[in-house]
Structures are given as structure tokens and as C-alpha cells.
Chains A and B, each alone.
Chain A
Amino acid sequence: MKNITSTLYIFLKQEWISVAVYFLATILFLFIIYTSGLGNDDPIGHQRITIMMISLLSLFIGIYLGSGFLRLKRSHLWQTLPHYRNNLVISFVSAAAIYGTLQTTAMLYSGWSFIIAWLAPICITLLAAQLVIGNNLIMKVILPASPFIIFQLNQYNVDYQLLLVILILFASLAVYLNYENKTVLSDATIGLMSGNMMQQLKNVRVQKFNILIATIFQALGVKYRKKDLSVAFLQPNNRYGVSSSIGVTFILLFFHLINDNQMELEGISGLMLLSILMGVLMELKLLAPQSKSLAHVYSQEQHQDFKARVLAMIERHVLVQSIVYGTLILLLNSMIEDFVEPLPLIRYVATAALSAIIFMPAFLCLSWVNINFKLLAVIICYFVTTIISFGWFYNRDTMDILFLQIIGTGILLVSIRYLSKVWWRRFSMEQFMRSYP
């Protein structure tokens, strides 16, 4: 028991401030939902919106807890001492339960029964953590997405109590698979996929891509001696993106088959996109420290400048990738949807753009090493802006000023991001990189 409390303490200590943040954000969500009139005319829809919002929170919490779990799983004791493995899994589930319980109030307020209000966020958190912990594509993509799929079954009048049972079964399966996976993760595999540069460089396609990237580097006026290394930053993102897209497309097709509710569909598409980007971001956390060695290879003397340029390129890449994937997925949606009811394509493109923009601050949050009060302020701004923009977006029948809203949101969020970068993040990233040899 003593060990469980100390492991739990480590989990919560790492993200102690996020407890307050997410509790606050939960209340904020509900406040905005009510004040914006979202779902007022449809109590069932209102409940669904709540569960989606809670799912979004749980996704964040799950990813944080998953990262903590992976960090502790690195010890060889995971494989050699069953006592340690039991302890870690119990603590992980307990931490998810603590976070989940914090959201119960918000769920109860939206009219959910107590048992669902209490257990659903816990299960969603455990499943969302698989995005980080899962050791294969199914666990990384399908399990985190399963709550959304399960709740869609309500379309067939399946009772929510039964859906909760299915959700619990999925969450139990996820935890069981985590427990049974005895592989100890090394530095190279702690990300969502292999971050081992040398393994990736053996791939012929990687080498071709590499030449392209190296040419870009050259165009930027960067002196380099070996072309091979530049790919290490960008290729993993592409690989992860492609594989996730397949998973996401599959899930969206499934939704299309069972669902005709546009609003939910777009919201879910956003969440799915989030999962891709989270993957990219987690990968970045792994790869960013390697920019130091890359800088030594490519640059002659200006290492710091070069590192900053590499990081800027990665960020640009994340943004471009999010827009490309978002647009592709939503275009696919619209093509399928045209068979049912023709809708303006612009709405999909706008959703993709909005999704891309709102994920940028998420990038900021995740690349932060330690959560602190400054980050808390940024996250609150982020959540408020996101929810307000979603509220505006879905409450409008006309598209006339939609893009203006998106541009406004973008400017606000990028400003927050820029300021935080100037004031805090640069220091934080430097500290982050210094901590790696």
C-alpha cells in the first residue's frame, strides 16, 4: 500500500496543477455550453455534447497519465518484479479514477445518472492513455477512439447503461493488455513509435525523402555534411500520420454508416485529428533533444541558431500536417455525405482549418516540461477560446463571417503562443534540451 501511495503521488505530483486546471475547465465547459445555448433545444443532444467535452478532457488527462506510466515503466523492475508491475497498474488506474471523479460533478449537472457520470470519465481516461501506452496501432488508435464509437451505438437505441458496461469492458481490456505487455521501453522506443534514427535511415523511402529534406535545408542556406540525419525529424511524423489516417478514416467511415448527426461528426473528426497530432507531438518530445546532435552535424558553429531553426521547422511541419490531414479527412467526409445530403464543402474546409489552429496551443502545452502557473494561465486562455469558437461555429447557420471568426481565433491563439514562446517556452525548451546528453 505504501508503494501504491508513493506511485500515485508521483503521478499526481507530475501533473498536480492539471487537477485544478481540468476541474476548472470542466466547469467552464458547462458554463459556456449553457450560456452559448448549445443544445438547449435538445436535452439528448446536450448530454451528448457534455460527454464529448468530458471525453476531450479525459483524452488530455489520459495522455498525461499515459506519459507518466511510460516513464515509470522504463525501470527494469517492470519486467523483473511483479510487485512493481502490480503497483504501477493499480496506481495508474487509481490516478485515472481521481481525475475521472473530478469530472463527475460536471456530468451529473448535465443530467447523467451517477454511475455513468462517475465511471465513464474514468474509462475514457484509461482508454485515452492507450494513445501513449499502446504498443501497436490497434491499441494506439482504436482503443482511444472506442468511447466515441461506443456512444454512437446509442443511435440504435442501445441503453446507456449497457454502453457503460461495454466501455468498462474495453477499459478493462486495455488495462489488462498494459499489464501483460512486459516489454521494458528504452529511450528509443518511449515515443509513440520507434524514434531510433539509425533504424529509420535504413529505409530506402526514407533515404529518398531525406534527399528532398536535405535539399530544403540547403535552400535555407544551412551547411551540412551528411544528408541522412535531417530526415530523423520529419519522417516519423509522416509515418505516424499516414498510419493514423488509415485508422481515423476507418473510424469515420464507421460513423457515417451509423450516424447522420453532422455536428457530432464534425466534433468527433476534430477529436480524431487531435489523436494524430498528439502522436506527432509525443514523437516530437522524443526527437527534439536529438536536434543537438543534428545541429553538430549540420552546422559549423552556429548550433543554437540551427537548433532554433530545426524546432521552427518541426512546428511548421506540425501545422501543415494538421491542415493537410484535417482537410483530407473532412473532404472524404463530405464526399460520402454528399450521397445523403449535399452540404457546402467550405464548412468542412473551415472545420479543418479551425481544428488545425486550435491544436497549436496544445502543442505548446505538451512540449512544456513542467506544468506551472504560467502554463495554467495559457491553458485557461486556450480552453476558453476553443470553446467559444466552437460555440460560435456550431451555432451559425450562415458561413458569411465564419472565416473571420477563424482568423480571429487563430490570431488570438497564435499571439498567446508567441508570447508564451518569448517569455517562457524558449527557456523551457533550452532547459529540456540541456537535460539530455
Chain B
Amino acid sequence: MTQTTDSPVVSFDKLNKSYKDKQVLRNLQAQIMPGQIVGLVGRNGAGKTTLIESIMGLKELDSGSISVWQQSLGKLSDSQKQRIGFVPQDNIGFEWMKVADYLSYFGGFFDGWDEQYADSLISKWKIDKKARIANLSGGQQQILQVIQAISIQPKLLILDEPVAHLDPNMRRQFLAELVELTCELGTTILFSTHIISDLERIASHIALLNNGCIEYFYELEDIKQHTAHLLFDKPIENQNLPPYLINYTQLANGSKATQVRPSSTSIEELETKLNTNITATPLSLEDWYLEVTNEKHN
């Protein structure tokens, strides 16, 4: 794999995808750099699964291109494809197999398959190797797919809502495993989820998919430090509001807006610019998500 730390692992270039009349991806552009753990969020139907399946080549795009390790998907060699771990959103689909058979069979197709590691995860997550997959719970089936995906020592790991069926304990263990994987192998991870608290634990970057494109793509720390509810002591003219402020509302004794993007302008500078006093309350990631997905046009 010819890759430097400066070259993106995944690049999306003007992706467009429609289902009948509905355009799901609209000129989508983004890049994921090595070692990043990118949490992909968005409302139901925003196109997260479509985007993820497009990276895997499971969905055909209307236009645009996706590059992985700076090569188009079709040109990736078999050995490169073997370094991509993938956990789909669907059911595992091999209910008739036993856990051990499932792992050894599918693991056998990957050169990097680490059977010892898979065994250790099986024991850690208390899954019976002799059990039939049909007899596992939904969460155990999901974690089995995760084990299969991470035991191939992936350089790129793509997970589509991998924790939806997991209990909090298992989720914690799973997230810890992802962090370990990134530290040890430098794995780049893209995962979609609706559980925002998980992102706060492990994501290095947050990508928000809205209206068919990645509207927000920031480092988690930037979102945490530079977003806030702003309370003004008087109404502000709309045209004076900088673009990084959304959801402006007039109140009885002032007005409010939300800063959803990092800005070089400090609160003090903004106070001077708008000629008002501002009280800023930092946003949690979940608040930020709710604000941007319920964005009103100012």
C-alpha cells in the first residue's frame, strides 16, 4: 500500500446518487486522512448507508468517483481489498453456520486473518464458539461481524451502525477495541451511528451528512470548544449575523443563536462587531447535532 500520512485514505469526489426521484447524494466531497476515526452522523434517510456501501462498491453511483489509497475502487488489488474491514448494517445472514465455522471460513479469505486475536475477542465477549449463529442474540450476531472485520488486521475499517444492538457494556468494550486497533495498526475508521455519546468517546472527526452532502466535517475537539449557544441582550439584524451562527430567534429580552462552526472570530470580537453583550454556553455534541439537523434559515 503506497501511502503517506499526507495522502487521504478515502476521497469522495462529486458523488451523486439518486433513488428514483430522491437524490440521496449531491456533489458530495470529502477526504478521510490516515489514522482518523470519523463518525458519520445524519438523520434517517440522509444517505449514510448509501455512502458507506458506495465505498465498498456495493452501490453504483450516478456520477463522481471514490478513491481508496488514491486508487479508484475498480483498480484496487485483491491484497488491498483484503485490508478493508466492513461491517454492514444488515443481519449477519449465515444463521445456519456455527460461530467457529463462520469465523474460520470467512477469515480464510483474508491474508491478514489473526485467528488468535479473533479467539481472544470471542472469549472476551463471551460468545460460544460452538453455538449456531441463529441461536445468538442480535447484539452477539452484530459483534461477531465486528470480530470478523477487525481480526483481518484492516488498514481501513468501515462500520455501518455497528453498535445499534449492543448493550452499554459491550459498546464500551467495542469502542475500546477500535481505539486499540487505531493505535496498534494505524487503522483508519469510518463508522456511522446514531449514538452520539459513542462518538464523543472515540471519534477524532465528525462528519454530518445532510441534504446529500457532508455539511459539517470537523475535529471533535473543534466542535466541543468552538460551538455554543449564544444569548444576545438585544435583537440583531439578520444581515449582520455571521454565517456560522444558525437558528436565530428573537426573545422577549434579547435574542439567541447557535454557533455551529469553529470561527477565528472570538466572542469578544463578535460582541464588538454586533454591538451587544453575549453569554456563551458550550454545546454538547448531542446539542450540536440537534441544532444542525434542525437548522432554520436565518
Contacts and interface: CB of A to CB of B under 8 A. Distances in A.
Interface stretch (B3-11, B41-49, B105-113, B260-268): B105-113
B78 interface: yes
Q: Is the interface of B mostly helix, strand, loop or mixed?
A: loop
A157 interface: no
Contact of B96 (A2, A71, A83, A186): A71
B81 A437 contact: no
Interface string A63-82: 00000000100111101111
Interface core residue of B57, B88, B105 (most chain A CB under 10 Å): B105
Interface in B69-98: 78, 81-82, 84, 86, 88, 90-91, 93-96
A10 B105 contact: yes
Given A76-B86, A76-B88, A435-B134, A3 B109 contact: yes
Contact of B57 (A3, A80, A83, A187): A80
B108 A81 contact: no
Contacts of A7: 105
B58 interface: yes
A322 B58 CA distance: 39
A290 to B, nearest CB: 14
A87 B109 contact: yes
B282 interface: no
B138 interface: yes
B156 to A, nearest CB: 12
A213 to B, nearest CB: 29
A238 interface: no
A79 B57 contact: yes
A84 interface: yes
B22 to A, nearest CB: 16
Nearest to A431: B134
Contacts of B94: 71, 74-75
B91 A82 contact: no
A2 B81 CA distance: 19
B109 A84 contact: yes
Given A6-B108, A77-B106, A80-B81, A184 B96 contact: no
A75 B58 CA distance: 11
A82 B57 contact: no
B105 A6 contact: yes
B58 A77 contact: no
Contacts of A75: 93-94, 106
A184 B60 CA distance: 13
A80 B109 contact: no
Contact of A186 (B90, B104, B106): B90
B170 interface: no
B61 interface: no
Interface residues of B, number: 23
Interface string A206-245: 0000000000000000000000000000000000000000
A432 to B, nearest CB: 10
A84 B138 CA distance: 26
B56 interface: yes
A382 B30 CA distance: 62
Interface core residue of A7, A76, A184, A187 (most chain B CB under 10 Å): A76
A435 B90 CA distance: 16
A84 B88 CA distance: 17
A79 B82 contact: no
A187 B78 contact: no
Interface string B21-57: 0000000000000000000000000000000000011
Interface string B222-251: 000000000000000000000000000000
Contact of B81 (A6, A14, A81): A81
A187 B109 contact: no
Nearest to B141: A437
Given A80-B81, A186-B90, A187-B93, A437 B106 contact: no
A321 B85 CA distance: 47
Contacts of B96: 14, 71
A76 B56 contact: yes
Interface in A171-195: 184, 186-187
Contact of B109 (A14, A83, A186): A83
A435 B134 CA distance: 6
Given A7-B105, A76-B56, A87-B109, 10 more contacts: A6-B105, A10-B105, A77-B109, A80-B56, A80-B58, A80-B86, A83-B78, A184-B58, A187-B91, A437-B138
23 contacts: A3-B108, A3-B109, A6-B104, A6-B105, A10-B101, A14-B96, A71-B96, A74-B93, A75-B93, A75-B106, A76-B88, A77-B109, A80-B56, A80-B84, A81-B81, A81-B82, A82-B81, A84-B109, A184-B58, A186-B90, A187-B90, A435-B134, A437-B138
